[in-house]
Structure 1
Amino acid sequence: MAEAEGDDHDRRVIKNAPKAWKADIWAHFGFYEVNGKLDKSYAVCKICHTKIKHVGNTTNFTNHVDRWHPELASTTTTQKVDTSQPRIDESLVSTLPHNSERAKRITRSVACFIAKDLRPYSVVENAGFRHMLKTIKPRYKLPTRATFTDSALPALYKETKAKVMESMCKARRVAITSDTWTSVATDSYVTITAHYISEDWKIVSHVLQTRAVYESHTGAHMARLLLDVVEEWELTDKSVVLVTDNAANMISAAEIGKFPHVKCFAHTLNLAAQRALKLPAVSRLLGRVRRISAYFHRSTKAKHLFEENQRVVLKLTSPLKLITDVATRWNSAHDMMERFLQLQAAVHATLLSPALNVDESEIVTLSRADLANVEEVVKTLKPVKDATVFMSEESSPTVSLIAPVYAQLLQSMSDTIGDQPLIRDVKNAIKTDLLKRYNSEAEKKILHTSSALDPRFKGLPFLTEEERLDVSTEVTSEAASLEEVIHFYL
């Protein structure tokens, strides 16, 4: 709206705007009186007496102040949009009631996410997580961390525990496995897992609990813990069999708790292989290979040159990395030596390259005799590695595998004509350690009976004729007793 210039001769009194008009701009504008009433068709500037047509809003008056009286603009507060207020589309979206079925399902799914993916409770306070949920379901209001800690997760645990117990109660026998471990924060825990065959003949496994252990890990304490688990999960009538590692305290716990006990075969293999790796001659070879591997991991220059030599010397399109072993996994030492042999030509070419200065290339290399020994050690450990991989790749490894694989390993570790002294020592170390395991009559009975019931090994070719006959008699007798029980109940 165009402004009307003030009349120099018109000096009538400018009356204030009605009090109901709250805009700050009315501090600088008013109206003339005509016949005793305010003439609201034009507003009058109190500074320069300019008349501006009033059309129902204050835009023209604000523009006038900004243009002709800028010194007043800073003191004039114009009506602005409050950014803290929700937009119209947002204000129209109502929040889901926290007790509605939809909100409960979403809350439960978040609790499942925390439990299954082992996320901390604090994840519900993370900005990214909250933004994701807001995008997926704008109407859903994410509960606080305390809600998940105090109610959502405990309710989910209670519900899941009831389902697990209902499923296990239908099983006739249950095996439990126990493993103690230490967290990064050096806190000690024990995890108990249950295994059984379902009604549709499928192997089912459940992690029953992971519990902090503050007491000393004595056999008595571990036995009490295991017995508490059996009682809590109502397994007292399930003929529970215990599977643990070869630790003395766990063997003692099985005896105190009167559990039929089977030692973990993977742990048995690890102990036997570790004994061989600790032989002075083998340990020296490992140390040299490990030092070379570590060198190529820490030197950027050597690593780049090593990759180039793999392409040139070995014709590899995708360069490989040397492997460094982990103390707690014996097979990583085998993999380290095997990879070193695979790439040793490129390793040799890199270490002798003029591109590396003398200081960088000062590293222990392996002689031809050392390389031959590494190759022989890898070959000797191959059956143990194959057994480890075989057990690991089984989706549901059963105790029936132990006896035949164990017998095969003992045969593989027998001395053969032409074995070097180092290889004889390696075989001897592994065989000696294996012979200390599974030598009680109770363990043998469990292993041999299980293998006899497995169609793959029912002929028991790894036993003598006399042993096969004894096992067959035992299995037949037990089957007959079970048949009598069935007829009694029928």
Structure 2
Amino acid sequence: MDSKKKNSNASSLTKPSTNFKRQRKLTSDVWENFEFLDVPDAQGNLLCKCKKCGQRYNAESRQGTGNLKRHIKKCKKRTFKDVGQLILDSSSAGSMMNRIPAIDCDVFHEMLSIAVVKHDLPFQFAEYSGIRKCFSYINPEVKLVSRNTLKADVLKMFKREKEKLRDELNAIRGRISLTSDCWTSITTDGYMSLTAHFVDNQWVLQKRILNFRFLPPPHTGVHMSDHVYDLLKDWGIQKKIMCITLDNASSNDVFADVIKNELDLICGGDYFHVRCCAHILNLIVQDGLKEINEAIVKVRETVKYCKGSQSRRQRFLTCVAHVELDSSRGLRQDVPTRWNSNYLMLENVLYYKKAFLHFQKVDANYIHCPSNEEWGRIEKIFRFLKVFYDVTNVFSVQIILLPMCTSQMC
């Protein structure tokens, strides 16, 4: 039985018996991927074909096996998931290396562009020597790009995604609600953002930023209306607008009245201009905070003082441990123009009230500790702010639950 198996294995690695060629044993490993054909070509040459894709080649010994090895490297139907199918090539140095699958340069460039946008990387990222070495190590055949090429790829991706979003907006059956806001940068440049909110054909609430661009002066209501209307025409949705939400700036009233006459609105535009609830809450709270501005300033300076240096921070933590409070909660510094940050700052400061009173005793330079009367006023304003903070969270929850409610109605 063993002799029969050996004979059968030997016969599988020999050329087929023909009248025009003598039979000989094959020694190259490349023949494991090809099989001989019984019918020769027109010139009488022996033929073989790839076991994966069926490509035919001349199998005469005088042709060698170089063309067969090159086919194995680029055969599209050959996978290298199985270790036994790895093709080992001998490099010029004589070492053995695994054959690396061919890389698609278009896919590589697109993935690099997505990574730059997603992680906010500079275009020069593609020219970093360390990054280039990593790419070359993974695949020596990869075509590295310059920062200019990467910039062009990102712009192409932006135009492609913009076309997809335009088609998506034009395909929805309902109307689109807008939100817009303007602000001035540190360099006194004006900017405007425009965001679209809509329910798609699967009844899921969607939000897309349509534009974020420079707004040249003057920042009047008429100029803003012309600017926004041009943006809507660019997206092709000027006839699908439901309403727009703006803050309570006086220029926004003029802006809404002017652009309302240029759009195809339902109910004659009576429900077009929606005032921002969060901005109204902010105005109410900021007006109330003026009554205890002195106490708020002391709290703010207290937080700044404790976080101003490593030594003061360590002394404060020692006071926190002395009064047996949790030090992991930490202190928050507010942003004066955002009342919700005032609320979070007061919440943590009131938690560490005992620590601040002890800190005043051990640090003679700490002069911003509120008095007992001011601590009482801070506690009252904290309870006052908590109501508005909860209302803001309710607004946010309502926005999140809106698609769930609409899907249930559907």
Report whether the alignment pairs 1:328 with 2:340: no
* Correspondence 1:86-125 to 2 at 5 A: 88=93, 102-125=104-127
The secondary structure found in structure 2 opposite 1:249 is helix
- Any conservation in 2 of the 1:95–1:139 contact (CA below 8 Å)? no
Please point out which of 277, 297, 301 is paired with 2:311.
Answer: 301
* Separation of aligned partners in 1, 2:375 and 2:94: 74
* Separation of aligned partners in 2, 1:373 and 1:299: 29
* Correspondence 1:30-179 to 2 at 5 A: 88=93, 102-149=104-151, 151-171=152-172, 172-179=174-181
- Any conservation in 1 of the 2:183–2:190 contact (CA below 8 Å)? yes
Partner in structure 2 of residue 373 of structure 1: 377
Larger radius of gyration: 1
* Separation of aligned partners in 2, 1:240 and 1:135: 54
* Correspondence 1:439-458 to 2 at 5 A: none
What is the one-letter code of the residue matched to 1:117? Answer: H
Please point out which of 286, 289, 293 is paired with 1:274.
Answer: 286
- Any conservation in 2 of the 1:180–1:191 contact (CA below 8 Å)? yes
Shift of 1:121: 2.0
* Correspondence 1:219-234 to 2 at 5 A: 219-234=221-236
Shift of 1:210: 1.4
Partner in structure 2 of residue 6 of structure 1: none
Deviations 1:355-381 (A, max 9, x none): x3x3x24x0322222111110111112
Percent of pairs identical after alignment? 26
The secondary structure found in structure 1 opposite 2:136 is helix
Report whether the alignment pairs 1:342 with 2:361: no
Deviations 1:190-242 (A, max 9, x none): 12111111111001111112111122211111101110111111102213421
The secondary structure found in structure 1 opposite 2:211 is strand
Partner in structure 2 of residue 411 of structure 1: none
* Separation of aligned partners in 1, 2:315 and 2:129: 44
**Are residues 278 and 139 of structure 1, via their aligned partners in 2, closer, same or farther at CA, if it must alter by over 3 Å?**
farther
- Any conservation in 2 of the 1:176–1:192 contact (CA below 8 Å)? yes
**Are residues 389 and 211 of structure 1, via their aligned partners in 2, closer, same or farther at CA, if it must alter by over 3 Å?**
same
- Any conservation in 2 of the 1:95–1:140 contact (CA below 8 Å)? no
- Any conservation in 1 of the 2:180–2:246 contact (CA below 8 Å)? yes
The secondary structure found in structure 2 opposite 1:365 is coil
**Are residues 221 and 116 of structure 1, via their aligned partners in 2, closer, same or farther at CA, if it must alter by over 3 Å?**
farther
Partner in structure 2 of residue 261 of structure 1: 273
Deviations 1:127-181 (A, max 9, x none): 34334433444321221121232x3122212211121111111222011211223
* Separation of aligned partners in 1, 2:144 and 2:160: 22
* Correspondence 1:185-196 to 2 at 5 A: 185-196=187-198
* Separation of aligned partners in 2, 1:184 and 1:131: 39
Deviations 1:16-55 (A, max 9, x none): xxxxxxxxxxxxxxxxxxxxxxxxxxxxxxxxxxxxxxxx
- Any conservation in 2 of the 1:94–1:139 contact (CA below 8 Å)? no
Partner in structure 1 of residue 85 of structure 2: none
* Separation of aligned partners in 1, 2:164 and 2:112: 20
Shift of 1:247: 1.8
* Separation of aligned partners in 2, 1:267 and 1:117: 31
Report whether the alignment pairs 1:389 with 2:399: no
* Separation of aligned partners in 2, 1:299 and 1:87: 61
* Separation of aligned partners in 2, 1:188 and 1:137: 46
What is the one-letter code of the residue matched to 1:374? Answer: I
Report whether the alignment pairs 1:313 with 2:317: no
What is the one-letter code of the residue matched to 2:312? Answer: A
